[in-house]
Structure 1
């Protein structure tokens, strides 16, 4: 598939439009590649890069000003987290979860996130409660302002933070990966303007945890995740080439 960057407009003198300047290489150091990884991961989670979209190494290398080797390392890291699919002779593309994969992800979330609620209720502090309330408030504001991308990111961060409160870093990291994959599922099967959960659900979870009601929080989390899954419908979106310069705010 060809890249869909918009061509520069012709000049007033009638000359051919100038070729965009190639980004100056900034090196492939670990810190730089980690920044690129976060940029692409965020673009996937926030639905700026749609499931199924092809991610060309040469285009990304030009946008970020690094080598194709560096981009390849980033894409391999994203593939390990199942945000990107690597296909022989076709390259990388944003993962498009199947119906069965979507069900598996939510089943895993039921098992893991619900199971962590009792530990979270035992360990939660007043500072944690305040932080969670701030996160829930930002999510509500984003939904109210129809800032879908921000709301999606806030929701994923909220669930990740709840998992961290359990004290089990391994499972918390796994929940973070499941939440990232859930954002892809919402992009493919979700309804526009709806994240699959009621705006007050997270507030209710906070109150249960703050009161030390771990079992009730576990049960409520189960219903919460079920409501998200129940909101999904199979809606196929046509594959389209992304404007990488626009997505990552890179000027020619």
Structure 2
């Protein structure tokens, strides 16, 4: 794993696990000192996090952890609830045993992350399950849209979510795979809709108390 990837994973984990709260500034100099790397290296990681909407970078102001509004958070989930069940018929048309095994392997990784209490990894994996599933439908435009929605909903979970937002309380993805294996399209659509509605319901759209972050202590 490259040094950039290690820093990215540590920062993502800190954001997702609320060690760095929404709205917190991310000074390049302090992060550079904490990780013992150049500001150029930190800038690359911040740009990647910004692409995934976990971070906002503003000219002359620097980077800070993104703080989605309650309205934005609600609209992101409503968009997923509306769109993802509609993709199920096209996904079903392309579904096969190889894909079934591939996605079951992904579910096992999700379960392992949850069992280990790794919320950051669990959020990444559950998002990946959804946008990789969307790609099975062979509509790349819609798949890319779902991927962006997944990144944005991951941020919402990072900002406002709980353990219930990423664990099996919101539905085991293997149940969806079972339905796709049996070509039960309507049932799979209903499962997806209910699953996403439960995820939305697990979000507590309240502001968290501001904290001061000591990056040197956090990342050493």
Asked if Structure 1 and Structure 2 have the same fold, meaning a TM-score greater than 0.5 normalized by the shorter chain, the answer is yes
Q: Tell me if structure 2 keeps the 8 A contact 1:60–1:71.
A: yes
The structure-2 alpha-carbon separation of the partners of 1:247 and 1:211, relative to structure 1 and needing over 3 Å to count, comes to farther
The Cα of 1:95 is off from its aligned counterpart by 0.5
How many corresponding residue pairs?
217
The Cα of 1:45 is off from its aligned counterpart by 5.0
Mapped pair 1:66 → 2:7: no
The structure-2 alpha-carbon separation of the partners of 1:40 and 1:163, relative to structure 1 and needing over 3 Å to count, comes to farther
Secondary structure at 1:93's aligned position in 2? strand
> TM-score with structure 2 length normalisation?
0.79
1:140 aligned partner: 111
Q: Tell me if structure 1 keeps the 8 A contact 2:30–2:216.
A: no
The Cα of 1:38 is off from its aligned counterpart by 6.7
Q: Tell me if structure 1 keeps the 8 A contact 2:171–2:195.
A: no
2:55 aligned partner: 84
The structure-2 alpha-carbon separation of the partners of 1:51 and 1:204, relative to structure 1 and needing over 3 Å to count, comes to same
1:167 aligned partner: 138
Structure with more helix by fraction: 2
Distance in 2 (alpha carbons) for counterparts of 1:91 and 1:178: 24
The Cα of 1:226 is off from its aligned counterpart by 0.7
Secondary structure at 1:96's aligned position in 2? coil
Unaligned 5+ segments in structure 1 are 1-30
Which residue of the other structure, out of 195, 200, 211, is the alignment partner of 2:165?
A: 195
Distance in 1 (alpha carbons) for counterparts of 2:19 and 2:124: 12
Mapped pair 1:225 → 2:196: yes
Distance in 1 (alpha carbons) for counterparts of 2:217 and 2:143: 33
Distance in 2 (alpha carbons) for counterparts of 1:65 and 1:115: 46
After superposition, where does 1:1-252 map in structure 2 within 5 Å?
40=11, 44=15, 49-62=20-33, 63=35, 65-68=37-40, 71-72=42-43, 75-76=46-47, 78-87=49-58, 89-191=60-162, 193-195=163-165, 198=169, 200-244=171-215
Secondary structure at 2:196's aligned position in 1? helix
Unaligned 5+ segments in structure 2 are none
Q: Tell me if structure 1 keeps the 8 A contact 2:170–2:198.
A: no
The structure-2 alpha-carbon separation of the partners of 1:73 and 1:221, relative to structure 1 and needing over 3 Å to count, comes to same
The structure-2 alpha-carbon separation of the partners of 1:230 and 1:168, relative to structure 1 and needing over 3 Å to count, comes to same
> TM-score with structure 1 length normalisation?
0.70
